[in-house]
Amino acid sequence: MEAENLITYARNAREYAYAPYSRFKVGAALLGKSGKVYTGCNVENASCSAGICAERCALSKAVSEGEREFVAIAVICDLKGPCTPCGICRQVLAEFNPDMQVIMANLVGNTKISNISELLPDAFGKANRLHG
Ligand code: THU
C-alpha cells in the first residue's frame, strides 16, 4: 500500500478524535501483514492519564482482532511539521515490530518516513533480557 493511501486512512480517523481537553486531534492507521488497515484516534478522559493516543488505539484494535504483525503506521495531526509519535507509542509499537515503517504527516502535506528502530534506538525489549 502507498504511504499516501495510509495517510488518508489516518486523516479520516482523526475526524473521530475525542480531544475536548487538549483540543489536539490525532489520527493513525496501522497496516497489518494481512493487508488489513486498523485506524485509531486519540480518546481523552477527564482523568487525564486515562486518555489514549491514536497509535495505541489503532494497535489495540488490531491485536484484539488477532493481528500481531505490522508493516507500517501512518500518524497525522495539525502541526507545522510531520506528526511524530510520542515515546510511549514508540515503545508499544516496538514490542510488535522494531522495523515497522512510520509515516508521519500533517494536514498540509508535509511527510517524513522513518522506522521504529530509528525513532527509538536501544529500545527496552524482551529480546535483550538475560533471563526468561
Ligand atoms: N497524542 C497522540 O494521539 N499521539 C501522539 O503520538 C502524541 C499525542 C494525543 C494525546 C492527547 O490526546 C493529545 O494528543 C495531546 O497530547
Q: Which superfamily, per CATH, for 3-127? A: Cytidine Deaminase, domain 2 (3.40.140.10)
Instruction: Quickly state the pLDDT bin for 12 (edges 50, 70, 90).
Output: very high
| Cα 128 from chain centroid (whole Å) | 24
Question: Ramachandran region of residue 123, left (φ > 0), alpha (ψ -120 to 50) or beta?
Answer: beta
Q: Whose CA is nearest to atom 14 of ligand 1?
A: 24
CA–centroid distance, residue 54 to ligand 1 (Å): 7
**pLDDT for residue 127:** 74
Question: CA-based diameter of the chain, in Å?
Answer: 48
Higher pLDDT, 125 or 9: 9
> Is 104 a pocket residue for ligand 1 (Cβ < 6 Å)?
no
- Which set of grid coordinates corresponds to residue 32? 497489518
**pLDDT for residue 38:** 98
Instruction: Quickly state the pLDDT bin for 126 (edges 50, 70, 90).
Output: confident
Instruction: Quickly state the pLDDT bin for 19 (edges 50, 70, 90).
Output: very high
**pLDDT for residue 52:** 98
Instruction: Quickly state the pLDDT bin for 90 (edges 50, 70, 90).
Output: very high
**pLDDT tens figures, 113-125:** 999 999 999 999 8
Tell me the average pLDDT across 87-92: 98
Residue 132 pLDDT exceeds 70: no
- Exposure string of 3-27, with b = 16+ CB inside 10 Å and e = fewer, is eeebbbbbbebbeebebeeeeebbb
Residue 15 catalytic?
no
